[in-house]
A and B are shown apart, each in its own frame.
Chain A
């Protein structure tokens, strides 16, 4: 489900790549410091993007230093000094990953999900205390989402709405003071969530067919049981519109934020990375389930 939001690496400047990785490392270290080493394994790019985005809305200069870490013990890498946004993004990472793993466990009895959720339990309790309201809101949307999935809802819009709403909660960061900016971020999160959900649904069609589990696209377009790849092809145009339109709304919200800091990185993700990812999934350009790696 997570990890679709990535920069279009070949198009990044080396300096930009360094800074982006600096944010990623900073987030990873923050996770380790606050929630223990295991939690670092759950970090994903979506939350790194959120961290860069939120931090770019403050005009403070980017500070950091070259450091070593467990994953790369021999080479020092540039790491951005963490701030409130790092804390916030890492908290959100814990919340999303915990629910995600728990969901995997209760739905599919996925062992990895079960152990993961167990390992994150303490960290999650700690975050829940800090963000009680957000957790309640997210739980409500998750409940609605799983209800819709159980009822085998046949409208992709309706199901994606709930996931979008979860991401809206995540993006509406309380540390952003301007109310309009928060609202804009929320709309950005909603549309990004929608995009993630639909893209994931399209990506999972084969897997869901194999396990005979629910897939909103299969339901909505009433798959009759013939060739899966030709089915995917017939719905591609419709799905592409839904995905691209959601992204165009993400981009509109981003334009309104008028971010100057880290513009190169953010532009890269918003104007290219997301399109590249969309096309990769839609046209199956050999990325089969790289997101499986938790």
Chain B
């Protein structure tokens, strides 16, 4: 059974364009695939995102008029899908190459190659088979930036964030020019601040201005006025 698109977006029927867009933007932010990187629930988030996109399309069509594209998030969502696409391609290429090597060379030979091991580990991580990935990582002798990165990904997926962070950080330090490692590290920091600065918390008493702040602000304003020759508070 298909869900009511208005319910999916959490809006009333007959909502205005702006309301629909705002609701969509909020939800897209919440279920954005970037937020669910290295998360065992990534597939569920993706499904949810698809549902929201469909609902948005339907609702906008119902609202009539000349809508063509979804705002901002759609694009970045497609981009991240595209990056997944390249992953997929890599994966296929790997499979092809490994099947070639299986027919061409002997089996042992294939394992001797470190970068081949690295690719296989990556493949297992992408498919969520962490145990196999870990086995391969343990066999790799060359503990370079790529190794630390992959090991970090395995840890993160496991829920071992302390070690995950340490490894990703190490990878980024060892190879500062690598965009992928830096990106992963930024993403981790982003998750941290993103959660700490969520709307609920930000609007609560915990972060609202207190009386001291008020006094300081007034004092600053007064000083500024005085600098310019005026005066805000007459007595000081």
Contact = CB atoms under 8 A, between A and B. Distances in A.
Contacts of A132: none
Contacts of A164: 159
Chain A contact patch, size range: 35 or more
Nearest to A156: B162
A241 to B, nearest CB: 6
B31 to A, nearest CB: 7
A11 B205 contact: yes
B50 interface: no
B230 interface: no
Nearest to B7: A260
Interface string B197-215: 0111100111000000000
Given A184-B41, A187-B41, A256-B45, A244 B196 contact: yes
B162 A238 contact: yes
A157 B31 contact: no
Contacts of A251: 195, 198
A272 B204 contact: yes
Of B30, B165, B192, which is in contact with the most chain A CB atoms at under 10 Å from its CB? B192
Given A184-B41, A252-B39, A256-B45, A245 B161 contact: yes
Nearest to A184: B41
A223 interface: no
Given A184-B41, A272-B204, A245 B191 contact: yes
A289 to B, nearest CB: 23
B40 interface: yes
Contact of A157 (B44, B48, B155, B206): B155
Of B30, B44, B158, which is in contact with the most chain A CB atoms at under 10 Å from its CB? B44
Given A241-B165, A256-B48, A161 B159 contact: yes
Contacts of A276: 206
Contacts of A194: 159
Contacts of A272: 200-201, 204, 206
B164 to A, nearest CB: 8
B160 interface: yes
Contact of A249 (B44, B155, B159, B200): B159
A247 B195 contact: yes
Interface in A183-203: 183-184, 187, 190-191, 194
Interface in A93-136: none
B194 interface: yes
A199 to B, nearest CB: 13
Contact of A252 (B35, B161, B163, B192): B35
Interface in B2-50: 30-31, 35-36, 39-41, 44-45, 48
Interface string A225-255: 0000000000000100110111111011101
Contacts of A247: 195
A252 B206 contact: no
A242 B35 contact: no
B188 interface: yes
B162 A244 contact: no
B41 A8 contact: no
B191 A248 contact: yes
B155 A267 contact: no
A272 B161 CA distance: 21
A275 B201 contact: yes
Contacts of B159: 161, 164, 190-191, 194, 246, 249
B198 A271 contact: yes
A245 B188 contact: yes
A272 B158 CA distance: 25
A202 B159 CA distance: 19
B36 A11 contact: no
A268 interface: yes
A245 B192 contact: yes
A140 interface: no
Contacts of B41: 183-184, 187, 252-253, 256
Contacts of B165: 241-242, 245
Contact of A244 (B30, B36, B192, B200): B192
A268 B200 contact: yes
A157 B161 contact: yes
A245 B188 CA distance: 8
16 contacts: A157-B160, A157-B162, A180-B44, A184-B41, A190-B159, A241-B162, A241-B165, A241-B192, A245-B188, A249-B159, A251-B195, A251-B198, A252-B36, A255-B31, A268-B200, A275-B201
Interface of B: 30-31, 35-36, 39-41, 44-45, 48, 155, 158-163, 165, 188, 191-192, 194-196, 198-201, 204-206
Given A8-B206, A245-B195, 4 more contacts: A8-B204, A246-B159, A255-B30, A256-B41
Q: Which 10 A-B pairs have the closest CB atoms?
A: A271-B200, A248-B195, A157-B160, A245-B161, A242-B162, A11-B204, A248-B191, A157-B162, A271-B198, A272-B201
